[in-house]
Amino acid sequence: MSYLQERILSDGVALNEDVLKVDSFLNHQIDPVVMNEVSKEFVDYFGDKGITKVLTIEASGIAPAIWVASELQVPMVFAKKTEPSTMKSEDQYTHDVHSFTKNKTSRVIVSSKYLSADDRVLIIDDFLANAEASLGLVDIVKQSGAEIAGVGICIEKSFQPGRQKLEDAGIDVYSVARIKELGKDKITFEEGH
């Protein structure tokens, strides 16, 4: 059992059959041991794929993405959820992404200065459920002309269709922890990555 799985069992809270709260160690307060362990797994799996950039969406994906980028010694880019006044609309890649947890759609933005056709991009995020965020980032990578090396996910909800959508799109997916079932005070893991 991975350290992340241990932390999910000890400190994660299944609020219902769809929502897992892990803000005490993953996406509000950050446990550096968790980040170190998940980044090692991502680097072990994707490290030989010629990655030149790591991409995520603010805010929860930033911690694991920067850890992985540091290990790979490549830049990390994050898609912004608000357009800065310093970025002209013709200098950006955008995609509308719906958040299941927040029930909100945000236009995410990446400056065209930071992704190009010369890049090979690894997408990293904290959760995979319906793949809206990952597919939005995949679209942004395609807009730039870059190649997608794969998608690395800290926690996948395997009972939701995200992985299948990504695999149907030809994307290599690696998840550190795969949740098979959630229920009030019940968390069951699925084998494999």
- Is position 20 annotated in a ligand binding site? yes
Q: What angle do CA 132, 135, 141 make, to 5 degrees?
A: 145
Closest CA to 147 of 170, 126, 179, 113: 170
Burial 114-150 (b: 16+ CB within 10 A, else e): bbeeebbbbbbbbbbbbbbbbbbbbbbbeebebbbbb
- Is position 133 annotated in a ligand binding site? yes
- Is position 157 annotated in a ligand binding site? yes
- Is position 14 annotated in a ligand binding site? no
Q: What angle do CA 151, 152, 154 make, to 5 degrees?
A: 145
Q: What is the dihedral of CA 10, 100, 77, 31, to 10 degrees?
A: -10
- Is position 131 annotated in a ligand binding site? yes
- Is position 65 annotated in a ligand binding site? no
Closest CA to 162 of 93, 109, 76, 98: 98
Task: Cite the annotated binding site for 5-phospho-alpha-D-ribose 1-diphosphate by residue number.
Answer: 129-133
Task: Cite the annotated binding site for xanthine by residue number.
Answer: 20, 27, 157
Task: Cite the annotated binding site by residue number.
Answer: 20, 27, 129-133, 157
